[in-house]
């Protein structure tokens, strides 16, 4: 389980400046639970591929996390705080975001049984993975679908729809950065926290949203003119003007103009175009 934060802006800006110090401080407070690694991906300009920094340690008081969120000035970025699934190693190769084929991806959820994911992957894609997580296998499936689709959003939608059939109770929430856009997967309709996770959260002073709506993602528009930006985040931190994201959907945020396009997971009509949000 993890926490996600994504930013898309019209001009380069640090993550701290994009969301505000108070929001970033709230986000970092979540390391009380989500302290099994962190990662930051950023795209500096339209047309660039993402770069990634990851660590298997806590983001709190980590100078590299400070540099990644306060000194670098990307145009689009995503941040991930990891709460490792039981049994999966806490090591850099398992830290999100994963990077391959010009894409970066971070996931919030657990897809079990994990071994069943291997049968969905072509040998070449499977061989390209570095870590041992279900999340990297999910990313590999997205990359596999990308070879047969005209857009990244459609590749993500197909991968999520495929996993939703085989793993109906899994949270597939994710952020995918690349190809001049941030893709947001909001798909957790039947997901619940395990009892041991509820107990661990209850033993802390984290916001009540962590129990009431742990898997939800929100979206906010802040600033105007050249300072306009779109922020996406998990529940439990920040005081931005959050709005709910459509359930069971894939949402694409363009780096070109901050336009937002929603792609439902289940298409009522295969010929119907995606509707602007």
pLDDT in tens, 88-115: 778 999 999 999 999 999 999 889 888 8
What pLDDT is attached to residue 87? 64
Coil, strand or helix at 84: coil
Question: Is 19 or 202 the better-scoring residue by pLDDT?
Answer: 19
How many angstroms separate the CA atoms of 191 and 199, rounded?
Answer: 17
CATH of the domain at 64: 3.60.20.10
pLDDT in tens, 15-27: 999 999 999 999 9
Span 185-213, average pLDDT: 71
The number of distinct structural domains making up the chain is 1
Q: How confident is the model at residue 270 (pLDDT cuts 50, 70, 90)?
A: very low
CA 237 to chain centre: 15
How many angstroms separate the CA atoms of 129 and 122, rounded?
Answer: 12
Question: Is 204 or 86 the better-scoring residue by pLDDT?
Answer: 204
Range of the domain at 61: 2-276
Question: What sign does the dihedral 65-212-136-51 (CA atoms) show?
Answer: negative
φ, ψ (nearest 5 deg) of residue 178: 155, 165
What pLDDT is attached to residue 198? 61
């Amino acid at each position: 389980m993890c926490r996600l934060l994504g930013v898309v802006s019209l001009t380069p800006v640090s993550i701290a400046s994009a969301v505000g110090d108070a929001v970033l401080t709230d986000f970092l407070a979540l390391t009380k639970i989500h302290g099994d690694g962190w990662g930051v991906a950023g795209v500096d300009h339209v047309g660039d591929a993402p770069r990634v920094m990851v660590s298997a340690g806590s983001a709190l008081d980590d100078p590299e996390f400070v540099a990644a969120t306060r000194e670098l000035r990307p145009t689009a970025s995503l941040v991930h705080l990891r709460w490792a699934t039981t049994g999966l190693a806490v090591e850099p190769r398992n830290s999100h975001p994963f990077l391959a084929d010009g894409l970066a991806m971070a996931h919030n959820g657990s897809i079990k049984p994990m071994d069943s994911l291997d049968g969905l992957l072509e040998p070449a894609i499977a061989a390209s993975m570095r870590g041992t997580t279900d999340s990297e296998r999910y990313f590999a499936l997205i990359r596999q679908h990308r070879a047969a689709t005209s857009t990244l959003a459609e590749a993500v939608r197909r991968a999520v729809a495929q996993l939703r059939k085989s793993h109906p109770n899994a949270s597939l929430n994710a952020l995918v950065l690349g190809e001049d856009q941030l893709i947001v997967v909001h798909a957790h309709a039947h997901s619940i926290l395990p009892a041991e996770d509820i107990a661990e959260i209850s033993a802390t002073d984290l916001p009540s949203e962590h129990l009431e709506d742990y898997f939800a993602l929100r979206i906010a528009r802040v600033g105007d003119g050249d300072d306009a930006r779109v922020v996406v985040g998990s529940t439990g931190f920040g005081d931005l003007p959050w709005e709910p994201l459509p359930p069971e959907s894939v949402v694409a945020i363009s780096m070109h103009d901050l336009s937002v396009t929603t792609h439902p997971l289940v298409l009522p009509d295969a010929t119907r175009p995606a509707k602007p949000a």
